[in-house]
Structure 1
Amino acid sequence: MDDELRQRLRDAALAHQPDRERMLARVERGMVREAPARAGRTRRTAGAPMPWLRVVGATVAVCGVLAAGTLAVTSAVREEGNAQRVAGPPAPAAPSNAPERGRALPAGDGPLWSDGSVDPHSNRFWAQSEVTVKTGEPLSELTVELRIALTGGVNTTGSWRSLPEEDFAASAREEGGFLVYRWSLKPGRTVRAGTHTFAGQYNHAEGARDAGDDDYTARARASGGRAVVGGDFAPAH
């Protein structure tokens, strides 16, 4: 059944208003006419319907017409209601905004997003701190700086990045009480849109190291201009 036919049937059903008063009046007139005839009649012809049966039949007919009209309206409304329920889209799932356990809260600027975390495979003598940079568009410039506070026994054991090694100039040196890892995109190179990781590795004094004084910064240039993001690391518990 197409939409136009369904709408026409529904409109006709809603417009139908049985004339109940007129029907009942016809029944009453029939009863009045029947009374005088019954008074002068002593015998009933075989096979002829009894008068009270005609009255009951007429009453049933009126109720039938009224019921049919109600059924038509109810069916049309129910059909439309079912169509609306079928057409409704499923409710979207509620998003989760909870940060990952052991990570600092992310920071964003324009197309740039970042996060800092300590690798869960770090141990009582060695650790790896990671900076995650996500960009929604290509970058023509990018410098990532990771600063590890020089608490007991901290010294570098290396670094890496998920982007091509030949695209970056990398360094690690002690500056102002920090072990500073720095990765700078070389001129003429481009960082593609996506998620990228920069990691610094280091030894430290035995025991659980508190990374609460460590921090990082990422500076970039995209088509819309410069962007800067940064943050710190979740302290040890």
Structure 2
Amino acid sequence: MSGPRRDVDEELRARLRAAAGEHRPDRARILARVERGMAAGNRGPARARLPGRLRVAGATAAVAGILVAGGYTVASAVRDDAPARPPVAAPPGPRESESREPGSREPGSRESGSRESGPVWSSGAVDPHSNEFWAQSNVTLGTSTPLSALTVELRVAQTGSVTSTGAWRSLPEDDFAFTLDERDGFLVYRWTLRQGRTVPAGEWMFAGQYNHRRGGRDAGGDRYSAAATAASGPLTVRGGFTPGG
């Protein structure tokens, strides 16, 4: 685009931007300015003078025609200088795993290979995030009734360079006394519920972590046991470990 038409387009865009920046735009005044600009660029002996209202209407039509022909709209002409606004996104809702108490499971569900004793059930598994140098053994204990006493023991066989790197449980730390021993060829993790504390109904995890000799470790010799007391009396569950993965 070149010549008078380009000059008119640039002047129109400049005037539209200036008008949009005013606090209270006056449509009639804007059109009058456009009309004066067009008249200045198109004066000649053959151009007829039109009365007031027809001049305004003609200027409006001319503006629309020029903008359409040049591929512009009023909005685009003004928007070029306006700062872009970042999109507003709604915050994500809580994941399903966050909507339940940590360590809990849907009522009535069981893992394959679980052991049961009345209202208490359990299972043991090597954590799937274990690797060729390090592993975690998980004891999952579930109960459909509160427990007034509980002792969980995890025995990790000494298969070569097995050394503890930590332990945790999904129940409150202050509710349990914890000991770690090495005896009879096992690394022994033990959690004992303190007197006066209670394990609520739900499903909970007790985990022991350890380094081991490089390579895949065989957990076939590992064992766990849990002794509990419910309103119905003493309960005991025990078992081995399934591979992680």
Do these two structures clear the TM 0.5 threshold for a shared fold by scoring above it?
Answer: yes
Name the residue aligned to 2:226.
Answer: 218
Q: 2:172 aligns with which of 164, 167, 170?
A: 164
Aligned equivalents of 1:224, 1:194: Cα separation in 2: 17
Aligned equivalents of 2:129, 2:136: Cα separation in 1: 8
Q: Which runs of 5+ in 2 are unaligned?
A: 1-108
Identity %: 59
Runs of 4+ displaced beyond 4 Å? none
In the TM superposition, 1:191-230 aligns within 5 A as 191-230=199-238
Aligned equivalents of 1:140, 1:98: Cα separation in 2: 24
Contact 1:209 1:236 in 2 (8 A): no
Do structure 1's residue 187 and structure 2's residue 195 form an aligned pair?
yes
State the shift of 1:109 in Å: 0.2
Aligned equivalents of 2:238, 2:205: Cα separation in 1: 14
Aligned equivalents of 1:98, 1:118: Cα separation in 2: 14
> How many aligned residue pairs are there?
137
Greater share of helix:
1
TM-score by length of 2: 0.54
Aligned equivalents of 1:97, 1:200: Cα separation in 2: 21
Contact 2:126 2:244 in 1 (8 A): no
Amino acid corresponding to residue 145 of structure 1 in structure 2: E
Amino acid corresponding to residue 132 of structure 1 in structure 2: T
State the shift of 1:175 in Å: 1.3
Pair member with larger Rg: 1
Aligned equivalents of 2:121, 2:183: Cα separation in 1: 26
Name the residue aligned to 2:117.
Answer: 109
Amino acid corresponding to residue 136 of structure 1 in structure 2: S
Name the residue aligned to 2:128.
Answer: 120
In the TM superposition, 1:120-139 aligns within 5 A as 120-139=128-147
Amino acid corresponding to residue 222 of structure 1 in structure 2: A
Name the residue aligned to 2:152.
Answer: 144
Contact 1:142 1:219 in 2 (8 A): yes
In the TM superposition, 1:18-57 aligns within 5 A as none
For residues 92-145 of structure 1, the C-alpha deviation after alignment (integer angstroms, 9 at most, x for no partner) is xxxx9983xxxxx11000110000000000000000000000001000000000
Q: Which runs of 5+ in 1 are unaligned?
A: 1-95, 100-104
TM-score by length of 1: 0.56
State the shift of 1:234 in Å: 2.3
State the shift of 1:171 in Å: 1.1
Aligned equivalents of 1:149, 1:115: Cα separation in 2: 18
State the shift of 1:188 in Å: 0.4
Using a 3 Å threshold, how does the CA distance of structure 1 residues 164 and 229 change in structure 2: closer, same or farther? same
RMSD: 1.8
For residues 216-237 of structure 1, the C-alpha deviation after alignment (integer angstroms, 9 at most, x for no partner) is 0000000000000010012689
Aligned equivalents of 2:130, 2:244: Cα separation in 1: 12
Structure 2 residue matching 1:133: 3-state secondary structure: strand
For residues 22-73 of structure 1, the C-alpha deviation after alignment (integer angstroms, 9 at most, x for no partner) is xxxxxxxxxxxxxxxxxxxxxxxxxxxxxxxxxxxxxxxxxxxxxxxxxxxx
Using a 3 Å threshold, how does the CA distance of structure 1 residues 176 and 189 change in structure 2: closer, same or farther? same
Contact 1:212 1:236 in 2 (8 A): no
Using a 3 Å threshold, how does the CA distance of structure 1 residues 151 and 236 change in structure 2: closer, same or farther? farther
Structure 1 residue matching 2:154: 3-state secondary structure: strand
